[in-house]
Structure 1
Amino acid sequence: MKIVGVAACTVGIAHTYIAQEKLENAAKAAGHYVQIETQGTIGIENELSEQAIQEADIVILAIDVKISGMERFDGKKVIKVPTEVAIKSPNKLIAKATEVAGQQS
């Protein structure tokens, strides 16, 4: 399964990168392809390409603030959670994403 997402916290520093790392590690451990973009005080890093978004089975938004580029995910299956969920329960979140992605018609 291909997972893409965005991590962004209120300050745009610590929780953004912790959420990114936890999601990437949990997805890779479950055998999935994953790419998480970060949006924070230093701007957008690891920006998702249009192709990566199109090929994704699901989008995970671990965000505490409004992010730029939300329209890129129109028509995709999206799970939106606070960064805290991605940090504290990344394996459960990836399992949920797998479940939701599997419900495609």
Structure 2
Amino acid sequence: MKIVGVTACTIGIAHTYLAQQKLEDAAKAAGDDIKIETQGTIGIENALTEEDIKQADVVILAIDIKIADEERFKGKKTVKVSTETAIKSPNKLIAKLHEIVGK
């Protein structure tokens, strides 16, 4: 399964990057391809391309704030959770994405 997503926390430091790492580790352990864009204090890193989004089976938004360009995910299966959920239960979250997509 191909997953893309965005992580962003209120302060834009620790939880943004922790959530990214936890999601990437859980997805890779499940055999998925994943690319996570971070929107933190230093701006957007690892930016998702139009092609990344087009090819994705599902979008995960682990965010605590409004993010830039959320409308680019319109029409995609999208799951929105807090960064805390992504950090504390990444494996359950990836399993849920599989349920939603049916893969």
For this structure pair, what is the TM-score category when the shorter chain's length is used for normalisation? over 0.9
Partner Cα distance (2:18, 2:55) in 1 = 25
2:23 aligns with: 23
Measured after TM superposition, the shift of residue 101 of structure 1 is 1.1
For structure 1, the residue ranges without an aligned partner over 5 or more in a row are: none
Residue in 2 aligned with 1:75?
75
Letter matched to residue 56 of structure 2: A
Q: How does 1:88-103 map to 2 (within 5 A)?
A: 88-102=88-102
CA distance in 2, matches of 1:53, 1:39: 16
For residues 2-58 of structure 1, the C-alpha deviation after alignment (integer angstroms, 9 at most, x for no partner) is 000000000000000000000000000000000000001100000001001000000
Aligned length: 103
Q: Identity over aligned residues, as a percent? A: 71
Residue identity in the other structure for 2:62: A
Q: Does 1:55 align with 2:55?
A: yes
Distance (whole Å) between structure 2 residues aligned to residue 48 and residue 85 of structure 1? 22
- Tell me, in whole angstroms, the C-alpha distance in 2 between the residues paired with 1:48 and 1:102: 23
Q: Are 1:3 and 2:3 counterparts?
A: yes
Q: Report the CA distance between 1:102 and its aligned residue.
A: 1.5
Give distance in 1, aligned partners of 2:54 and 2:89: 26
SS in 2 for 1:53: helix
TM-score by length of 1: 0.96
Amino acid at match of 1:20: Q
Distance 1:50 1:102 in 2: 23
The two structures have a TM-score, normalised by structure 2, of 0.98
